[in-house]
A = this chain, B = another copy of it.
């Protein structure tokens, strides 16, 4: 049973709500933004005075490139990708549930994109409008292939959802144009921002055309094999001004071009770029069974997840270059943890699962998904975080320019608007992440109420998941197999649980456990499986080499990381600590934060001395007074939904 097709339908309340949010709020809201309708309030991006932030202009750029309107390109050189990501999100929404009005809008966007495409297939509004002589001549910063990759992803998704032929045709014409210019027979060159490789892989999966796989592999494998490709291109770049100010000063590692990818083994440079690169590498490795490529992915994955990832699944330890820094450097209040980077980490985990059936990929996927990804949007679906901190003090945001990137509330939009549509496209396609099917094995990676049909030449398997995970850890699978073929279901046993029980047709079963999955061979007919995972509040500490977390712990309940907010716990959250016996109490509640399980715990609060006149005082003069307090934790992803206030994930422990 080589080629199994899978169709999922989410019926889970938690995720349906997010998908409704995408459909009803994010997609219409982002449509308005892309069309420059209404006014958008953006928090001052104090560190990035160069960011154009007054309007999006993204669709208008296409109208100008298409010759429909006159004017100049406005915004980032990669502004087109906002439109593509919107289209991709719309595609997934339409795949879930047809909506003629949305389809009509999306079809018009496809028409517009096709009109903006040049005769030879070139697509990129900045260069078409402003500097045609510079096409493909400034790849370090042009984002031409980056945008192309996003269009290919959108095209594949939109074609699959609607059968729109024009979108696929436009994307293939673009891929051909890129292949002529920069393929194995063209000039040497790769993009400063990886993404086209993902797009090409999507075209390959959709069309089965080997040339897209080959072109993706070409871009992956030539990366970093040069002495100084970006520098060489710069010398002959016909443009005078940098496409993005200061970016040509960045080191090669920022672009993951410091070494050939097969020689890279640590997470370097811009976090989003790296996870996009790895996503494509893992995808191509799975498609072409390339063990060397896969090995690089595994090594870098290990480096990320064992030494450079926050407990929230956030990555990127510094705002400078939105980048990785060094092992165990995970500062809670100056980090970056861009929403897009965690979205990319989810993409990557999914691709890794295709080659390696290891539970850790699913663990990290859900860690990123339930925490940093969801934190990227306000509960209203109309405010977004770019940066997802683990500790915030509004005064630092306001008065310390070194922390001005760490906003205490989500702005309505972002000068660099990569995150909101990235989030939308992931949430709208989250059904694709539930299972990973490889040969005769289906891995259950995410647990959510859903109905799934897996069909192959020899028959079908229907899987119905009944659960309110992660509120509870009870997941019931009703599996119906028709046809006599080999099929096994692997259930992920998350590393965070300390107890998992499996019942098959009512009988306790141990299954076959391996690498974080427990496997069951599924017979023909009906099988009832009940997986019971213990989900309870657990305190986690970081490896002691993480300086920022020494003497502290973070609370999680299943995959969901918790935090303290000032709103519930008063100001100066650094003054509180958790008792050694915290006596956790869980409480299901519904309110401003939606339906959540809040957790309270026993703690202490250091009292500020009443007559504190001296900034420094002898320790021997007496210990600081502490008062017992009840600490109130909320899920991290719900923070900053009740106005600007302090927040912390890590809490001091006794």
A-to-B contact residues, CB < 8 Å:
49, 249, 305-307, 309, 311, 317-321, 325-326, 329, 334, 393, 395-396, 398-402, 495, 498, 538-547, 550-551, 553-554, 572, 574-575, 606-609, 612-620, 624, 652-653
Closest to A249 in B: B49
Docked CA distance A401–B512 (Å):
48
- B544 & A614 in contact (Cβ 8 Å cutoff): no
A606: B residues at CB distance < 8 A:
544, 550
**Which of B321, B399, B541, B546 is A325 in contact with, Cβ under 8 Å?**
B399
Given A544-B624, A547-B574, residue A318 in contact with residue B400 (CB < 8 A): yes
CB distance from A359 to the nearest CB of B (A): 13
Nearest B-chain residue to A613, judged by Cβ: B306
Nearest CB of B to A553, in Å: 5
A400 to B398, alpha carbons, bound, how many Å?
A: 22
The residues of B that contact A309 with a CB separation of less than 8 Å are: 615
Q: How far is the CB of A70 from chain B (nearest CB, A)?
A: 33
**Cα-based distance from A612 to B546 in the complex (angstroms):** 12
B620 x A538 contact (CB < 8 A): yes
Rounded to whole angstroms, the CA-CA distance of A480 and B399 in the bound complex is 54
Contact residues in B for A620 (Cβ distance below 8 Å): 538-539
A540-B619 contact given A550-B574, A613-B306, A652-B550, CB 8 Å threshold: yes
Complex-state Cα separation, A325 to B396, whole angstroms = 8
Q: Is the Cβ of A618 less than 8 Å from the Cβ of B400?
A: no
Residues of chain B within 8 A (CB-CB) of A607 are 544
Chain B residues with CB below 8 A from A398, complex form: 326
A615:B306 contact, CB within 8 angstroms: yes
A/B interface sample: 12 pairs, CB < 8 A: A306-B614, A311-B615, A326-B395, A326-B399, A539-B619, A540-B618, A540-B619, A541-B617, A543-B612, A545-B572, A545-B612, A550-B575
CA distance A606 to B139 in the complex (A): 48
B540 and A329: CB pair below 8 A? no
Q: Which residues of B contact A616 (CB under 8 A)?
A: 311, 540-543, 554
**B325 close to A538 (CB less than 8 A):** no
Across-interface contacts of A614 in B (CB, < 8 A): 306, 495, 543
A320 to B402, CA, bound (A): 7
Nearest CB to that of A541 among chain B residues? B619
* B615 with A399: CB separation less than 8 A: no
Closest 8 pairs (CB-CB, A-B): A320-B401, A539-B619, A326-B399, A547-B574, A325-B399, A540-B616, A325-B400, A544-B606
Query: Bound state CA distance, A542 and B614, in angstroms?
Result: 8
Cβ contact within 8 Å between A321 and B543: no
Task: Collect the chain B residues with CB atoms within 8 Å of residue A572's CB.
Answer: 544-545, 547
Q: In the docked arrangement, what's the CA distance between A317 and B403, Å? A: 12
A306 to B609, CA, bound (A): 14
Do A318 and B249 touch (CB < 8 A)?
no
Query: Of B329, B399, B540, which contacts A617 at CB under 8 A?
Result: B540
* Chain B neighbourhood of A320, CB < 8 A: 400-402
Q: Given that A550-B652, A606-B544 are contacting pairs, would A399 and B329 also be in contact in the complex, using a CB cutoff of 8 Å?
A: yes
Kindly list chain B residues whose C-beta atoms are within 8 Å of the C-beta of A546.
615
CB A243 to nearest CB in B, in angstroms, measures 19
Q: Which one of B319, B545, B619 lies within 8 Å of A553 (CB-CB)?
A: B619
Once bound together, how far apart are the Cα atoms of A606 and B544, in whole Å? 8
The answer to whether residues A618 and B538 also contact, given A321-B401, A325-B400, A400-B325 and a CB cut-off of 8 A, is yes
Distance in angstroms between the alpha carbons of A378 and B539 in the assembled complex: 45
Would A393 and B547 be within 8 Å (CB), given that A306-B613, A402-B320, A402-B334 are in contact? yes
Whether A608 touches B544, Cβ cut-off 8 Å, given contacts A399-B326, A575-B550, A619-B553, is yes
The answer to whether B326 touches A615, judged by C-beta atoms less than 8 angstroms apart, is: no
8 extra interface residue pairs, beta carbon distance < 8 Å, beyond A326-B398, A329-B400, A543-B617: A311-B616, A495-B614, A542-B615, A544-B624, A545-B608, A550-B606, A551-B551, A554-B616
Whole-angstrom CA separation of A547 from B653 in the bound complex? 15
* Cα of A624 to Cα of B620 in the assembled complex, Å: 27
* Contact residues in B for A624 (Cβ distance below 8 Å): 541, 544
Residue numbers in B under 8 Å from A402 (CB-CB): 318-320, 334, 402
CA distance A606 to B550 in the complex (A): 10
The CA-CA distance from A53 to B325 in the complex, in Å, is 27
Q: Please, how many angstroms separate the alpha-carbon atoms of A547 and B574 in the complex? A: 6
A163 to B398, CA, bound (A): 52
Most buried by B among A329, A543, A615: A615
* Cα–Cα, bound, A336→B552 (Å): 27
> Shortest CB–CB separation between residue A313 and chain B, in angstroms?
11
Flag if A318 contacts B539 (CB, 8 Å): no
**B306/A400 in contact, CB under 8 A:** no
Residues in chain B near residue A49, CB distance under 8 A = 249
A399 to B575, CA, bound (A): 30
Using A615-B309, A618-B538 as known contacts, say yes or no to A396 and B329 having CB atoms under 8 A apart. Answer: yes
In the complex, what's the smallest C-beta–C-beta distance from A202 to chain B, in angstroms? Answer: 31
Contact A329 B395 (CB under 8 A): yes
A401, B318: Cβ atoms under 8 Å?
A: yes
Complex Cα distance, B549 from A574, in Å, reads: 10
Cα A543 to Cα B319 with chains together (Å): 29
Which of chain B's residues has its CB closest to A547's CB?
B574
CB distance from A99 to the nearest CB of B (A): 41
- CB nearest neighbor in B for A47: B320
Q: How far is the CA of A399 from the CA of B253 in the complex (A)?
A: 12
